Copies of this chain bind each other. A is one copy, B any other.
Amino acid sequence: MLNFSASEENYLKTIFHLQTKDNNVTTNELAERLHTRPASITDMMKKLKTRKLVNYQPYQGFRLTLEGKKAALNIIRRHRLWEYFLASKLKFNWDEVHEVAEQLEHVSNKKLIDKLDEYLAYPKFDPHGDPIPDTHGKMETSKQISLAELHLNRRARICYVANQSELLLEHLHEKKIKIGALVIVKRKFSYDDSLEIKLDNKPALTISGQLAKNVFVRHG
């Protein structure tokens, strides 16, 4: 595994998070996410291309090569292991760990990370409910469950919406419920199966049992 600068690592990691099966990442998208200017993205893409970490053709966007993906998973592994350490050992709140892990993830020493993993007893998920890649880049693809099935106080992420009718999508928009949001079920009312949930740590809101059955999450 080669060595990357902190900047290169942040680019690789962020491209990984933005790219999907069928869509390349665009220059503006990445610039916004990294709080830099589009010109800087182009500069770095040229560099990462010569290092064979991204596939990139001018004006066509870019995506990680296999090499690039391996590197990104390694950085994500470090980030999430440190987040787990901060929460479980140092008693940080789960919403304070990200900022610190952003720095710790760039300390590159394989033995350090593997020993940390061992010390933490090989955790499978970070404090946000995101899966932690192992040494080989493999990670849990926790099965999807509906919000109705999610246990109380377990963090999960919204990943899918079933039965995507106009009305349902509109309703989700109203309630500001989005794919990728962090969700915690705080109370369950068996009277009508309604739920009190928290989204991205914002004030609680109540949703109907019907809605809960159509919103799917991963890891709870």
Taking chain A's interface residues, is the majority helix, strand, or loop, or is none over half, making it mixed? helix
A90-108 contacts to B, CB under 8 A, are 90-92, 96, 99-100, 103-104, 107-108
Interface mask (A105-141 → B, CB under 8 Å = 1, otherwise 0)? 0011101100110110000000000000000000000
The answer to whether B107 and A90 touch across the interface, beta carbons within 8 angstroms, is no
Question: Nearest B residue to A107 by beta-carbon distance?
Answer: B103
Interface residues on A, range: 10 to 19
Residue A89 CB within 8 A of the other chain = yes
What distance in Å separates the Cβ of A170 from its nearest Cβ neighbour in chain B?
42
The answer to whether A115 and B103 touch across the interface, beta carbons within 8 angstroms, is no
Interface mask (A57-99 → B, CB under 8 Å = 1, otherwise 0)? 0000000000000000000000000000010011110001001
Q: Which 6 A-B pairs have the closest CB atoms?
A: A90-B115, A103-B107, A100-B109, A100-B112, A90-B119, A104-B107
